[in-house]
Amino acid sequence: MEKASLRQLIDDQNLLFSTNSTKEIGYRVTKLKKLKSLLKSKEEELYSAIHKDFKKSRFDTFTTELALLYLDIDEAVSKVQKWSKRKRVRTNWLNFPAKSYIYPEPLGTCLVIGAWNYPIQLSLAPVIAAIAAGNTVVLKPSEIPSGTSSIIADIVNSNFDKSFLHVVEGGVEVTTNLLALKWDKIFFTGSVNVGRIVYKAAAEYLTPVTLELGGKSPAFVTASCNLDVTVNRLVWGKFLNAGQTCIAPDYVMVESSIKDKFLEKLKNRIIEMEFSFENDNYVQIIDQKNFQRLKEMVSEDQTYFSGKLDETTRYFPPTVMSNVSFSDKVMEEEIFGPILPVLTYDNLSEAISAVKRYPKPLSCYVFTGESAVKTRIIDEISFGGGAVNDAIMHITNSNLPFGGVGNSGMGNYHGKAGFDAFTHKKSVLDKATWLDPSAKYPPYTSKKLKVIRWILGV
Ligand code: NAD
């Protein structure tokens, strides 16, 4: 799409927004329900597009993409009335007599930029939140899973008015053109480096941003954990989507006394889960560039368990690395693939300090039976969100705002937090006129100051 057409698109969306129709609760609910029924009717096409893009199965596509969106829509539909209501808050004495309110107000025309790894969910979940909050939206899905991007564009663009919701497909050039325009909100999911580009572009117009980025998310495994359950949940969380999950455990810090037992159980469980394309429980590495990047992270002498890589089908088997140290290549950047480095520790304080030398991660997981360890890790390490004795699953609880901190992002969404991400809280003091004390008006006197001090109590 050319620059001029993009500008026209924003103008049209701004115009619709200015009519106030997108703010009506009925309008929001109708559009959300319409989106759900379209997705339901196009499930088969979505399954086949995403399978073609990186062999993602129906099971995974339903559970990790579509189901989350359906639940998001249902929640927004049932709660949008409540979320959008003005909220009365207490008024301070200084303002007596008055009432005080917070009016949730949609921001306007919003840009959503998606990532490739969960291409349906990461594109449409912010869109659902933006619609629920009463905005108009332009979505730019990731161009990498091109089939999925094109079916999303088709579903949206053939069924919604352009001036309300529109998908613009494309890569860096298109995104750069979009970012040069003035938006009322930009919601970005992707890498830290592109996050910086988005943040800089947004600064030009002081546009508020939500940045959902990545990082190296640690998983602590202590000697007191339930080892079988820990291994089950870690193997599932790490190798889901072949490790191409922003909140996948990036590496494990295991207490050295249980390291051997842990590694053996890890290997057995990986074998038992039979991660393969034939079983429809494993996906391809998204492209050759990422395949080669991952290959270079693995050193043979540290490989504890792996399998046969297949470059032509981009099959990268679950790979466990042991005897890894923080200076190894695999520990330099976010892995974002099916490689699990296992590091050991004897002293929890040192382990925590080592993790804290990295930028703040998107997630942190603690597998332990000791509540003191759990509390220490949660209190001492700053991270976006996480779980105790589980991995990934916190994302499925929409009452938990989802997002990063520091390098892993800013702002959050899901459930009410998603509505808030696309909403301005407009504060209004509604004052009565029957009392208008003269103390605040000039000419000022020491007596008036005394009255003010008495009212303020300071
Ligand atoms: P990416 O940053 O390469 O791409 C994200 C989006 O930005 C795409 O739509 C792409 O077209 C666009 N883009 C790429 N380069 C650009 C540029 N130079 N200028 C403007 N736009 C550009 O990220 P990705 O490879 O799609 O996703 C992987 C990263 O995203 C990982 O770091 C992962 O941790 C992170 N991620 C985070 C979350 C989260 O919810 N926090 C979710 C998924 C992925």
Residue-wise DSSP of 380-444: HS--SEEEES-SSGGGG-TTS-B---GGGEE--BSHHHHHHHTEEEEEEEEE-SS---GGGSSSP
Q: Express each pLDDT in 111-126 by its tens digit.
A: 999 999 999 999 999 9
pLDDT over 90, % of the chain: 97
Q: Which atom of ligand 1 is least distant from the CA of 384?
A: 41
Instruction: Determine the distance separating the centroid of ligand 1 and the alpha carbon of 142, expressed in angstroms.
Output: 8
Q: Whose CA is nearest to atom 42 of ligand 1?
A: 246
362 touches ligand 1 (CB under 6 Å): yes
Whose tokens are 């509604």? That residue is: 430
345 neighbors 331 (Cβ within 8 angstroms): no
Q: Whose CA is nearest to atom 27 of ligand 1?
A: 190
**Kind and range of the H or E element at 364?**
strand 363-367
Residues whose CB falls within 8 Å of the CB of residue 12, separated by 6 or more in sequence, listed in order = 162, 163
- The gap between the terminal CA atoms of the chain, to the nearest Å, is 60
Q: Whose CA is nearest to atom 31 of ligand 1?
A: 191
217 touches ligand 1 (CB under 6 Å): no
Q: Is the pLDDT confidence value at 226 over 90? A: yes
Q: Whose CA is nearest to atom 18 of ligand 1?
A: 172
* DSSP string over 298-328: --GGGEEE----BTTTTB---EEE-S--TTS
Whose tokens are 């003005």? That residue is: 86
Print burial letters for 127-139: b (CB count within 10 Å at least 16), e (below 16).
bbbbbbbbbbbbb
Q: Which of 65, 179, 191 to mutate to test the pocket of ligand 1 (most atoms within 8 A of CB)?
A: 191
Residue 199: per-residue pLDDT = 98
Distance between CA atoms of residues 135 and 185, nearest Å = 10
10 φ/ψ angles, rounded to the nearest 5 degrees: -65, -45
294 φ/ψ angles, rounded to the nearest 5 degrees: -70, -40
Sign of the alpha-carbon dihedral angle for 244, 247, 248, 251: positive
Q: Which residues on adjacent β-strands are paired with residue 303?
A: 321
175 touches ligand 1 (CB under 6 Å): yes
287 neighbors 144 (Cβ within 8 angstroms): yes
Residue 138: pLDDT band (50, 70, 90) is very high
213 touches ligand 1 (CB under 6 Å): yes
**Kind and range of the H or E element at 266?**
helix 259-273
Residue 1: pLDDT band (50, 70, 90) is confident
Residue 152: per-residue pLDDT = 98
Residue 422: per-residue pLDDT = 98
For 143, how many CA atoms within 13 A lie in the half-sphere containing its CB? 8
Residue 455: per-residue pLDDT = 87
Q: Which of 121, 189, 198, 199 to mutate to test the pocket of ligand 1 (most atoms within 8 A of CB)?
A: 189
Q: Cβ of 326: how many Cβ atoms within 10 Å?
A: 13
Distance between CA atoms of residues 458 and 456, nearest Å = 6
Residue 2: per-residue pLDDT = 85
Residue 252: per-residue pLDDT = 98
413 touches ligand 1 (CB under 6 Å): no
Question: Which tokens go with 283?
Answer: 């996906």
Please state the rounded mean pLDDT for residues 84-92.
Answer: 97
Instruction: Determine the distance separating the centroid of ligand 1 and the alpha carbon of 186, expressed in angstroms.
Output: 14
Q: Cβ of 220: how many Cβ atoms within 10 Å?
A: 26
Q: Which atom of ligand 1 is least distant from the CA of 113?
A: 9
Q: Whose CA is nearest to atom 11 of ligand 1?
A: 171
For 380, how many CA atoms within 13 A lie in the half-sphere containing its CB? 17
User: For the whole model, what pTM was predicted?
Assistant: 0.97
Residue 84: pLDDT band (50, 70, 90) is very high
* DSSP string over 118-172: STTHHHHHHHHHHHHTT-EEEEE--SSSHHHHHHHHHHHHTTS-TTTEEE---SH
Domains present along the chain, CATH in parentheses: 3-213+409-425 (3.40.605.10), 218-400 (3.40.309.10)
Instruction: Determine the distance separating the centroid of ligand 1 and the alpha carbon of 290, expressed in angstroms.
Output: 13
Q: Is the pLDDT confidence value at 235 over 90? A: yes
139 neighbors 13 (Cβ within 8 angstroms): no
Which of 26, 15, 3, 4 is CA-nearest to residue 161? 15
Residue 303: pLDDT band (50, 70, 90) is very high
Instruction: Determine the distance separating the centroid of ligand 1 and the alpha carbon of 82, expressed in angstroms.
Output: 33
Instruction: Determine the distance separating the centroid of ligand 1 and the alpha carbon of 114, expressed in angstroms.
Output: 7
Instruction: Determine the distance separating the centroid of ligand 1 and the alpha carbon of 205, expressed in angstroms.
Output: 22
409 touches ligand 1 (CB under 6 Å): yes
Q: Which atom of ligand 1 is least distant from the CA of 362?
A: 41
For the annotated catalytic residues, the residue numbers are: 212, 246
Q: Is the pLDDT confidence value at 131 over 90? A: yes
Q: Express each pLDDT in 344-374 by its tens digit.
A: 999 999 999 999 999 999 999 999 999 999 9
Distance between CA atoms of residues 253 and 345, nearest Å = 7
Residue 417: pLDDT band (50, 70, 90) is very high
Helix, strand and coil percent figures for the chain, each rounded to 5: 50, 15, 35
Q: Which atom of ligand 1 is least distant from the CA of 116?
A: 26
49 neighbors 151 (Cβ within 8 angstroms): yes
